[in-house]
Amino acid sequence: DDCILDYFMPLTIVLTSQNVPNSDWEKKVTEYFKEKLKENNATNWVPSLNDVPVHYLKPNSLVKFRCMVQDMFDPEFYMGVYETVDPNTNARVLHFGKYRDVAECGPQQEIDLNSSQTVTSERQTFYCVPVPGESAWVKEISFLTDQARVSPSTSYTPSRHKRSYEEDEDMDLHPSKQKEQHMGSGGDIHGCVEPKRLETEASAGHHLISPNCSPPLDLNFPLPGEKGPACLVKVYESWDNFKVNDVLEVYGILSVDPVLSIVNNEERDSTALDPMECMDTAEEHRVHSPPASLVPRIHVILAQKLQHINPLLPACLNEEESKTFVSNFMSELSPVRAELLGFLTHALLGDSLAAEYLILHLISTVYARRDVLPLGKFTVNLSGCPRNSIFTEHIYRIIQQLVPASYRLQMTIENMNHSRFIPHKDYAANRLVSGVLQLASNTSLVVDETQLEQGQLDTTGVHNVTALGNLITWQKVDYDFSYHQMEFPCNINVLITSEGRSLLPSDCQVHLQPQIIPPNMEEYMNSLLTAVLPSVLNKFRIYLSLLRLLDYSISDEVTKAVEEDFVEMRKNDPESITADDLHRTLLVARFLSLSAGQTTLSRERWLRAKQLEALRKVRLQQQKCVNGNEL
Amino acid sequence: ARSCVARQRGGWIRKTFSFIFFLAIPLDFDISSPLTYGTPSSRVEGTPRSGVRGTPVRQRPDLGSVRKARQVDLHSDGLCISDVATEQSLGQKLVIWGTDVNVASCKEKFQRFLQRFIDPLAKEDEDIGLDLNEPRYMQRLEEINMVGEPFLNVNCDHLRSFDENLYRQLICYPQEVIPTFDMAANEIFFDRYPDSILEHQIQVRPYNALKTRNMRSLNPEDIDQLITISGMVIRSSQLIPEMQEAFFKCQVCAFTTRVEIDRGRIAEPSVCKNCNTTHSMALIHNRSMFSDKQMIKLQESPEDMPAGQTPHTVVLFAHNDLVDKVQPGDRINVTGIYRAVPIRVNPRVSNVKSVYKTHIDVIHYRKTDAKRLHGVDEETEQKMFTEERVEILKELSKKPDIYERLSSALAPSIYEHEDIKKGILLQLFGGSRKDFTHTGRGNFRAEINILLCGDPGTSKSQLLQYVYNLVPRGQYTSGKGSSAVGLTAYVMKDPETRQLVLQTGALVLSDNGICCIDEFDKMNESTRSVLHEVMEQQTLSIAKAGIICQLNARTSILAAANPIESQWNPKKTTIENIQLPHTLLSRFDLIFLMLDPRDEAYDRRLARHLVSLYYRSEKKMEEEYMDMAVLRDYIAYARSYVNPRLSEEASQALIEAYVDMRKIGSGRGMVSAYPRQLESLIRLAEAHAKVRFSEKVETVDVEEAKHLHREALKQSATDPRTGIVDISILTTGMSTTARKRKEELAQALRKLIQSKGKTPALKYQQLFDDLRAQSDTAVTKEMFEEALRALADDDFLTVTGKTVRLL
């Protein structure tokens, strides 16, 4: 099968197709690969850097990588075409430099740097990390789909067994095991993790004993404790389309040429000679050209922005085949919704109202911005959570099982004062040092305020809390560039669990009213997760990811009705109904309609939204009364 | 032998071989040929030519740091001689290899430029001391003669308007053309001022090359060309002495020799040419030649960046006197030559990294915000507008409804509040700056301050956030978290240099911008007091850690405050509702109330507006309103180019308006309008004229100013008890009726006491009860005490503890 062979050595294709140097070949290469990748799920044949450790992959082979753009380096000028000359025979040969890091030449040849044939071209380097907070199930499932066919391009034979979800969940329920799972690319105790971990340790050790005595390279993951390959992704065309925090899937040529590291070392040696080099460029160099074994390079042939990272959904929803998928799923939507509601009700200790709001929250997304105002964000403050209990931890674990990417932020004084929330520019190394709030779109951020004790916030703490507040209110994070700040819009679903009303702003506060108090919370929650069939769980996952992407509209008729309603409500009680309430009710109505698979607002949904809001408000009122009595 | 000099043009990547053959020039010419400039070996100490007598040539490392690489090869190839022979016959037609530059004609053209160029567009205030009708650069040369700074800065824009082709050559082949310019300038200079003594020969520094403005648009085609980019300095290195020429001395026979730098390296001679001893040559440091060099990192300015991307950086190399001219944090425009150098070839590895290192050799710096703290440098503050853009803006300004258009483009997601948006719009434009320093009044505030006050949830914060995002120098702080220090400035010790550094706060940072302060009411007293000075004098005085200074803070304040009871109490006055000192309140030109109107029609419209937010696509919404970028440009253009003056009718209208305002108050025997209100009116009228791009303030402007002023006042200064607009509420914190009531009560109390006959002392409580019994309206304890105080002020009685004594 020559198709398979192609993946073996894409560079050979590139090389053979360029025998006749013309400007067309570049276009042809891209088109060739685009075509090839379309063929019968060919994308699944390409080994993924997310799953396979770098040293199992052949250099110069085609790989794919699902990642988030963490930082953008300066554009690079490289030799697009260069000429080598044999000093003995004076024979001159032209070479192409695209898709390579190193200008190669034969043992008897030299590169003629002054050749008139040299063409300088430009490319852009992105520093990419795996999607922060990517759930274990996303890794697991995409690994399984990839490995359904054994990839011939790697010498790596996966020894991973297909595990049942029960087993998977079982692991999830034990924090210690879960940690292990986080470390591997897909939660594995069967082999793939071990050599990798050894390698990272080895390279870190290598750094420690290197003559520079530099500390091990910080791979700059936004979230603490993340593992996975960071990559230097070199983009050759239309790099202006990509933004920081975009989630990409790139197909490209893997470059792990050890020469890169040698060049590195020698440059390091020569720094002593050149005064220009030994200033702060050393630090910059270390960060911008790390050893290829640790941070491989990918020369991109094809890169696409991902709408979502849920492997259970077709990557692009606009295509024909995905349309049938969507319509099939939509037809059986209501039982899924009912089951999900039931599941979440159990998880929230029998509180169905809170479960309803949690569904609305999970499918919310910023769909537009009017000047500074983000529309469609729906931050829920789940108050009334028992303090210092494992309850919030388990709620997070359940959310983690449902959404593709999430992070639990424990709001302790210690954490607020010492964590890095806001990404900042390190000018010595010339890179953007990441922070917890550098997250990809549609990541679920669960802020656990029940952990907060009384105490003193220092400057960092105040900054962090302000940044978190800004993120919730404006859906933006101001990255710190030392001399100025720069605003990066984001789209993060924030759920705040707290005892009383949260100190952070939120769109909607739901007070939890547990119907059942399980004697053993741990056992209760565990049994809840094990009780769900994997196929049902998958449906939940599809449900939540898919509904986010639907369009929505309101007919003129309903608009009229809403208007009337609002005027009426204001007439009766102008004090308690404000524009904010209308905002919120409209939001609730939007997500309520979408959660039922309806893309227009109907009168019934509007009434239901009002009803939900009324119920919620009554609860808050009650809560106030209770608190008042206690005082 | 010197008739042929070849240099490498620095560009390794050019398609052409980059040599210069410089051949058919008369023999006496080559000494001052451009190519001898900058090469250390050709340094001439005192040339035979009369013009350039004795003035040494200073090498220009900025023009070629990688030159000469080919020179050796060339000589060894013997190419040079044969070329001389063949090409000499071609005479003056010769050009520099790889370019279309003919040195002689290029020099001649540039000399003509220097001698004749008169800038037709020059403005009077731009260059002090220059006669605009005389050739500009001849005056500059004269200046050099007087001051002795041998650098001639040439604006490329001038050159372009004078000779398009010469300009193109300069941009494309700076490395060849600039030395020619040097030569031309020196010839003219020493012709004119033969006795002038300069440190070294004049160096021409072109700036403002229009080739590239943005760092992002740099691409491989710009290599070796003259470019101008703007950006912010983020790091600068220490001074690096770079060896240009090494001096070696033989340890055996004391024979000396010089070796020039070649590709960043010095080849140490292994054999003494004199005595043939091997390895006897030793480097003599203090006879070697060094030049200063500095590496600077420039980062894209935040304004130039597309959203969602990180800024690019570029490395600059500054040489000689340009070292240490800029500091991290400075915003600069750099003109220089863009270079790309391959990463060093290592002889041991045949494979090399296929990437180039790029940098810019700096020729000229121009700071764009050097005067931020001292005074506005209007010229550099101006944003560059393309002609088309200006046309669009001017077209817009002619529309009759431009004022309404702009105000509705402001924060379209916030519903209605049209007058408030209009007020903020005028604030964004600001009044005209006037200087009355010579009459002792000092600067006249041009900035308009606005206070928004109202119920929570009326999108005040959203308005503030919008304004903060709109203006380039906006600052956003919350009254709750900010301290006086955070607003003004504080002194900090730099951990590295142990130097004291003045860190500026929000108010100083928003100089010439807008400072948005949310939760103004939550701000503590001491912090708020800082604002008194800022809001009227527009300066900030600091005395900390031995640093005493006055900083400019010409900022408009846009503040938002909640009522003291969190909900607006309609039974109370603004003062009572906001609880801000009236000294501060009177400094706000406009105080708007943002109240919930509670009106059915309004509710209906609001509902429709909100519903539309939730389903209409983004595109559709954008079509309806003016783009934020257009609005921003419109404001920036008006702010920097339009400076309206009062017309005769307008002043008349203002006077009338002011007299009217005074009359309202004087009707009840109170002065109600203060000069401050007149100033506000003037500012608002000026701002409105700016909106129309009008150089004249006319009656329409005054009308609108009056309207806004009245609208704002109507809301904030309506006496809740009478419903009459009463400006004295703002100025004294108490309405006229309240004063009247107070006086009446005091009189009633006096009568009551007098009616009691000649008792020297009265019981406090007794008196209070009596007064309450007598009065037909409810008398509170506070009112009673106030009346007592008023009587005490009249020396009618004194209050000691619980007894009241008559005097």
CA separation for the pair B317, B291 (Å, rounded): 12
b (16+ CB within 10 A) / e for A522-547? eebbbeebeebeeebbbbbbbbbbbb
Residues 350-369 of A with CB under 8 A from B: 368-369
State whether residue A180 sits within 8 Å of chain B by CB.
no
State CA A331 to chain mean position distance. Answer: 29
Contact assessment for residue B132 and residue B119, using Cβ atoms and an 8 Å cutoff: yes
Question: What mean pLDDT comes out for the span A538-553?
Answer: 87
Higher pLDDT, B294 or B735: B294
Across the range A175-204, mean pLDDT stands at: 38
Report the interhelical angle of B164-172 vs B174-192 (nearest 10°): 120
Judged by a CB distance cut-off of 8 A, whether residue B782 touches chain A is no
Pairing mode, if any, of strands A119-129 and A62-72? antiparallel
- pLDDT confidence bin for B719, thresholds 50/70/90: low
Contacting B residues, span 302-341, partner chain A, CB-CB under 8 Å: 302, 305-314, 328-329, 340
Q: How would residue B52 be classed by pLDDT, with cut points 50, 70 and 90? A: low
Q: Which residues contact B674 (CB under 8 A, 6 or more apart)?
A: B586, B731
| Number of cross-chain residue pairs from A and B with Cβ atoms under 8 Å apart | 210
- Gap between the Cα atoms of B5 and B75, Å rounded: 10
On the question of pLDDT at A313 being above 60, the answer is yes
Maximum CA extent, chain A? 99
Indicate yes or no: CB of A111 within 8 angstroms of CB of B481. no
- For tokens 């994070």, what's the residue? A477
Q: For B663-695, give the secondary structure using H, E and C.
A: HHHHCCCCCCCCHHHHHHHHHHHHHHHHHCCCC
Pick the range with the lowest mean pLDDT from A534-548, B69-83, B278-292, B510-524. Answer: B69-83
- Structure confidence at residue A6 (pLDDT): 45
Cα of first residue to Cα of last residue in chain B, in angstroms, is 115
Q: Does A122 touch chain B (CB under 8 A)?
A: yes
CB–CB contact B615 A111 (8 Å): no
Whether chain A has a CB inside 8 Å of the CB on B14: the answer is yes
Buried b (16+ CB within 10 A) or exposed e, B263-285: eeebeebeebeeeeeeebbeeee
Residue B647's φ and ψ, nearest 5 degrees, are -90, 170
Backbone angles phi, psi at A514, to 5 degrees: -65, 135
Give the pLDDT mean for A576-602. 85
Mean pLDDT of A189-198: 38
- Phi-psi bin for B46: left (phi > 0), alpha (psi -120 to 50), beta? left
Split at pLDDT 50, 70, 90, the class of B93 is: low
- Least-confidence region, from A202-216, A303-317, A486-500: A202-216
Residues in B 166-225 with any Cβ partner in A closer than 8 A: 218-220, 223
Q: At what angle do helices A603-630 and A352-362 cross, to 10 degrees?
A: 120
The beta-carbon neighbor of B223 closest among A79, A102, A120 is A120
Mutation choice for A interface testing from B68, B225, B323, B355 by most A CBs within 10 A: B355
* Contact between residue B574 and residue B716 where contact means Cβ atoms under 8 Å apart: yes
Chain B residues whose CB is inside 8 A of the A481 CB are: 299, 302, 311
Taking all residues of chain B, what is their mean pLDDT, rounded to a whole number?
71
The whole-angstrom distance between B470's CA and the closest CA on chain A is 10
- pLDDT at residue B479, rounded to an integer: 66
**Percentage above 90 pLDDT, chain B:** 0
- pLDDT tens for each residue of A49-77: 888 888 788 888 888 899 999 998 888 88
Confidence of residue A19 (pLDDT cuts 50, 70, 90): very low
Rounded to whole angstroms, the Cα distance separating A113 from A105 reads 13
What is the Cα–Cα distance from A188 to A168, expressed in whole angstroms?
10
B227 close to B360: Cβ distance less than 8 angstroms:
yes
Residue A494: pLDDT over 90: yes
**Inter-CA distances, B340 with A515, B14, B241, Å:** 71, 10, 22
In B, which residues are within 8 Å of A580 by CB distance? 457
Candidates B310, B469, B614; nearest CB to A554? B614
Nearest by CB to residue B603, choosing from A276, A425, A567, is A567
User: Which residues are within 8 A (CB) of A75 and not within 5 positions of it... i.e. 6 or more apart?
Assistant: A122, A123, A124, A125, B218, B312
Selected residue with higher pLDDT from B18 and A416: A416
Query: pLDDT higher for B719 or B324?
Result: B324
Q: In sequence order, what E strands does B176-239 have?
A: 203-207, 226-236
Write the pLDDT tens digit of every residue in B609-635.
777 776 655 555 555 556 677 777 788
Strand-pair partners of B410: none
Nearest to B264 among A274, A563, A567 (CB): A274
Specify the pLDDT at position A343: 92
Q: Which of B108-117, B373-382, B533-542 has the lowest mean pLDDT?
A: B373-382
Picking from B352-356, B572-576, B640-644, which range would have the lowest pLDDT averaged per residue?
A: B572-576
Question: Average of pLDDT values for B94-111?
Answer: 76
**CB within 8 Å: B308 and A587:** no
User: Using alpha carbons only, what angle is made at residue B42 by residues B39 and B45, rounded to the nearest 5 degrees?
Assistant: 120
Predicted confidence (pLDDT) per residue in A102-134, tens digit: 777 777 777 777 777 788 888 999 999 999 988
Annotate B69-82 with DSSP letters as a single string.
HHHHHHHHHTHHHH
What does pTM read for this prediction? Answer: 0.73
Instruction: Return d(Cα B592, Cα A44) in angstroms, integer.
Output: 62
Using CB atoms, pick whichever of A243, A263, A553 lies closest to residue B615. A553
Does B570 have pLDDT greater than 60? Answer: yes
Residue B196 is predicted with a pLDDT of 78
Beta strands at A76-85 and A92-96: parallel, antiparallel or unpaired = antiparallel
CA-based nearest residue to B10, from B67, B74, B70: B67
B439 interfaces chain A, CB cutoff of 8 Å? no
* Percentages (nearest 5) of helix, strand, coil residues in chain A: 45, 20, 40
Residue-level pLDDT at B98: 63
List of residues 6+ apart from A44 with CB closer than 8 A: A145, A146, A148, A149
**Quick one: closest CA in A to B605, which residue?**
A563
Inter-helix orientation angle A333-347/A391-402, to 10° = 160
Residue B358: its chain A contacts at CB < 8 A? 77
B617 in A contact zone (CB under 8 Å): yes
Strand order in the sheet with B514-518: B474-478, B514-518, B556-561, B450-454, B590-594
Q: Of A97-106, A151-160, A544-553, B276-285, which gets the smallest average pLDDT?
A: A151-160
Residue predicted with more confidence, A598 or B369:
A598
Residue B551 CA to residue A291 CA, distance in Å, equals 50
d(CA A461, CA A458): 5
- Chain B residues whose beta carbon lies within 8 Å of the beta carbon of residue A109: 350
Using CA atoms, how far apart are residues B737 and B722, in angstroms rounded to an integer?
Answer: 8
Q: Is B91:B26 a contact under the CB 8 Å cutoff?
A: no
Nearest CA in chain B to A574: B598
- Nearest chain A Cα distance for residue B504, angstroms: 12
SS3 call for B49 = coil
Residue A515 burial (C-beta neighbours within 10 Å; 0-12, 13-18, 19+): exposed
Nearest CA to A492 out of A357, A409, A344, A378 is that of A378
* B437 confidence band (pLDDT: 50, 70, 90): low
Note the pLDDT of residue A380.
92
- Between B538 and A73, where is the model more confident? A73
Average pLDDT over residues A446-456: 85
Question: How far is B479 from B116, CA to CA, in rounded Å?
Answer: 59
Using left for φ > 0, alpha for ψ between -120 and 50, and beta otherwise, residue A234 falls in beta
- Mean pLDDT of all residues in A460-469: 84
Residues 6+ away with beta carbon under 8 Å from A285: A264, A267, A268
Which token pair is B129? 């001391």
In the predicted structure, residue B299 carries a pLDDT above the cut 60 = yes
Q: Which residue in B13, B345, B607 is closest to A567 by CB distance? A: B607
User: Which residues of chain A are within 8 Å of residue B458 when distances are taken between CB atoms?
Assistant: 579
Give the residue-averaged pLDDT of B690-712.
Answer: 79
Q: Which of B356, B415, B611 sits opposite A559 (nearest CB)?
A: B611
Nearest residue in A to B568, CA atom = A575
Residues in chain B within 8 Å Cβ distance of A562 = 607, 611
For every residue of A576-594, DSSP letters joined together read T--HHHHHHHHHHHHHHHH
Which percentage of chain B shows pLDDT scores above 70? Answer: 64
The reply to whether residue B235 touches residue A280, judged by beta carbons under 8 angstroms, is: yes
**B346: pLDDT confidence band, cut at 50, 70 and 90?**
low
Q: What is the signed CA dihedral for A429, A434, A440, A442, rounded to 10 degrees?
A: -170
Q: How far, in Å, CA of A488 to CA of B296, rounded?
A: 27
Residue A495 has pLDDT above 90, yes or no: yes
Q: Are A60 and A9 in contact (CB under 8 A)?
A: yes
What pLDDT, on a 0 to 100 scale, did the predictor assign at position A438? 92
Tracing tokens 């960092």 back to the chain, one arrives at A460
CA distance A514 to chain B (A): 31
**How far apart, in whole angstroms, are the C-alpha atoms of residue A130 and residue B673?**
66
Q: Measured between CB atoms, which of A263, A279, A430 is closest to B353?
A: A263
Q: B-chain residues within 8 Å CB-CB of A427?
A: 234-235, 297
Cβ distance A562 to B344 less than 8 Å, yes or no, reads: no
Compute the distance between CA of residue B387 and CA of residue A454 in angstroms, rounded to an integer: 60
Q: Which of A103, A107, A122 sits opposite B352 (nearest CB)?
A: A103
**pLDDT, averaged across chain A:** 76
> Is residue A386 classed as helix, strand or coil in its secondary structure?
coil
Q: What is the pLDDT of residues B315-340, one digit of tens each?
A: 888 888 888 888 777 778 888 888 88
**Separation between Cα atoms, residue B715 and residue B453, nearest integer Å:** 10
Please name the member of A109, A240, A279 whose beta carbon is closest to the beta carbon of B295.
A279
* Among A residues 67-106, those touching chain B with beta carbons less than 8 Å apart: 71-72, 74-79, 82, 97, 100-106
Q: Average pLDDT of B381-401?
A: 70
Cα–Cα distance, B272 to B295 (Å, whole number): 36
